[in-house]
């Protein structure tokens, strides 16, 4: 596991949100939220929350993909995207 990925898991775990689980999967961070939790509600606030939490991370920035799931729906959010994340099939 990369140090940046581990630091994100540590910071997220310190939020102590009941029922939320944080784990590494390949180079990603999986955030498993309770089934009744709305993915849309999380998505609406995600950028603000990530920006605030990132203030506690003093490591060099790396690409990080957060996969947020409630067992029924899934949301991906890429922090510090690379060129391949920003390029669409139409751009090629």
Tokens representing 53 are 């939490």
Q: What is the pLDDT of residue 85?
A: 87
pLDDT for position 92: 53
**Strand boundaries in the chain, DSSP class E:** 21-25, 28-32, 64-69, 74-79
Q: For the beta carbon of residue 30, count every other beta carbon within 10 angstroms.
A: 17
pLDDT value at position 90?
62
Q: What are phi and psi of 38, to 5 degrees?
A: -80, 125
pLDDT tens, per residue, the chain with 92 residues: 899 999 999 999 999 999 999 999 999 999 999 998 999 999 999 999 999 999 999 999 999 999 999 999 999 999 999 998 888 766 55
The tokens describing 17, both together, are 């949100």
User: Residue 48: CB partners within 8 Å, gap ≥ 6?
Assistant: none
């Amino acid at each position: 596991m990369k140090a940046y990925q581990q630091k994100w898991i540590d910071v997220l775990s310190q939020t102590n949100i009941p029922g939320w689980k944080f784990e590494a999967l390949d180079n990603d961070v999986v955030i498993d939220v309770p089934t009744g939790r709305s993915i849309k509600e999380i998505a609406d606030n995600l950028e603000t929350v990530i920006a605030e939490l990132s203030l506690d991370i003093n490591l060099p920035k790396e690409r990080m993909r957060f996969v947020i799931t409630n067992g029924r729906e899934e949301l991906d959010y890429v922090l510090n995207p690379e060129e391949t994340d920003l390029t669409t099939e139409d751009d090629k």
